[in-house]
Amino acid sequence: MDNASHTSSHRDLHPSHAWFRPEVFSLPSYVPGKPAALGTIKLASNEVPFPTLSPVQAAVAGALGKLARYPDMAAHELTSALASSFGWPDDGVVLGNGSTALIEKILHATLLPGSEAILAWRSFEAYPIAIQAAGGVAVKVPLLRDGSHDLRAMAKAVTPHTRAILLCSPNNPTGVAFTHEALAAFLAQIPASIPVVLDEAYIHFVRMDDPVRSLELLTLHENLIVLRTFSKAYGLAGLRCGFALCSPTMAQGLRAIATPFGVNSLAQVAAVAALRAQDAVKEQVEIVIAERERLTSALAAQDWHLPASNANFLWFELGKLSRRMEELCRDEGVIVRRFADEGVRVTVAEPEGSLRLLRALARLRAERQG
């Protein structure tokens, strides 16, 4: 091939084929909840329906004059506050720009090219994206019929190529949570060489017999990483702050790959203030749980049978009817989160949103029966 034809063949290719690794263009897209238009209620992103807590607003306002300075890279005050709140050592607390960023960092640090990460499916849609972005292979183990993780099958899925396991409790989007007994038995089967990530983003909304006692499990399993977030119960989704609780040895590795200054100043200040406002946070959580119970009872009266949710959302596994449910909810002024033709997740929030949802579902029921 002469130089002219060689140059021409390269010009035919878009430069992006040279810029990025080949798998970048095959990454599945994360689909955020659609923004709510005027007059509609957004029940798509599992946010709490309350204004930012007053002490948090005051703390953030007081920090606005200091934004010319970099944030505290080690987040000393927040780390200390978390350690005190959980009774966990400071050197076992790792901060991140939301728990999703921590998941990405963990997978980039643990996965080798072509190695495997086991997860339940369907679960949080960021998991397979993060696994593929880290060069790994997602091993998806189907959920049980009740929307829970099939822990027995997940344990059997472990191979010499397994480098990480992702667990979500309560599971997003089904809302089903582990019992402590079931999770303890599962962890006892997993080799200590495999990091296990337990994502507890919705842990505050759990009300069940034998709930997971993750701190107790952390003392028994050095390979366990427990993730929490300030985005849900604490109402700080707009500031992106999450944290991991783990063994000091695990934390040392996670800090080594952390993004410098990864948690901004306002997020740190807000998170500390939110931790100090636990009574107000718990009060809001109880309001959401009460609404969840009312809504679940009303849905049962309409003959809807859903997975037992311990989160601030409900899951409707409707198959091809999912699109029609989304349309009817939109007609009633509610934005929900549809997952292709699998199902629809609906956040439990304002009572008015629940009423609109019930109207939409009554219409869907009537259409199906007609």
Query: Would you give per-residue pLDDT tens digits along the chain (370 residues)?
Result: 455 444 444 455 566 556 766 666 666 666 666 666 668 999 999 999 999 999 999 999 999 999 999 999 999 999 999 999 999 999 999 999 999 999 999 999 999 999 999 999 999 999 999 999 999 999 999 999 999 999 999 999 999 999 999 999 999 999 999 999 999 999 999 999 999 999 999 999 999 999 999 999 999 999 999 999 999 999 999 999 999 999 999 999 999 999 999 999 999 999 999 999 999 999 999 999 999 999 999 999 999 999 999 999 999 999 999 999 999 999 999 999 999 999 999 999 999 999 999 999 999 999 988 6
**Is residue 237 domain-shared with residue 147, that is, in the same domain?**
yes
Here the tokens at position 175 are 């809302």
3 domain-assigned: no
Q: Would residue 359 be called left, alpha or beta, if left means φ above 0 and alpha means ψ between -120 and 50 degrees?
A: alpha
Do residues 89 and 209 share a domain? yes
- Which H helix or E strand runs over 253? helix 248-256
Within 10 angstroms of residue 19's Cβ, the number of other Cβ atoms is 8
Are 250 and 325 in the same domain?
A: no
Please give the tally of structural domains in the chain: 2
> Which pLDDT score, from 0 to 100, does residue 25 have?
65
Q: Give phi and psi for 34, each to the nearest 5.
A: -70, 145
- Choosing from 257, 276, 295, the residue where a domain stops is 276
How far, in Å, CA of 36 to CA of 355, rounded?
17
**Residues 342 and 265 placed together within one structural domain of the fold:** no
Please state the separation of Cα 346 from the chain's center in Å.
15
Q: Which domain covers residue 323, as residue numbers?
A: 32-48+279-369
Q: Is 138:119 a contact under the CB 8 Å cutoff?
A: yes
36 with 101, same domain: the answer is: no
Distance, in Å, from the CA atom of 287 to the CA atom of 31, rounded to the nearest integer, reads 28
Give me the DSSP letters along 152-199. Answer: HHHHHT--TTEEEEEEESS-TTT----BHHHHHHHHHHS-TTS-EEEE
- 206 and 246 share a domain? yes
Query: Do residues 195 and 239 share a domain?
Result: yes
Given 276, 310, 344, the domain boundary residue is 276
Residue 27 lies in a domain: no
CA distance 1 to 3: 7
- The answer to whether position 120 is within a domain reads yes
Rounded Cα gap, residues 170 and 184, in angstroms: 16
Q: How far from the centroid of its chain's Cα atoms is residue 128's Cα? A: 12
- Name the residue among 264, 350, 269, 273 with its Cα closest to residue 54: 273
What are the angstrom distances between the C-alpha of 4 and each of 13, 15, 242, 251? 15, 18, 54, 55
Q: What's the CATH code of the domain at 357?
A: 3.90.1150.10
Instruction: Provide φ and ψ at 240, rounded to 5°.
Output: 55, 90
Residues 251 and 294 in one domain: no
Is the residue at 39 inside a domain?
yes
Q: Is the same domain home to 83 and 218?
A: yes
Structure tokens at 36: 């709510």
Enter the DSSP assignment of 229: E
DSSP code at position 211: B
Which CATH number covers residue 109? 3.40.640.10
Widest pairwise Cα distance in the chain: 76
353 and 325 in a single domain? The answer is yes
Place of tokens 């709490």: 48
95 burial level (CB within 10 Å; 0-12, 13-18, 19+)? buried
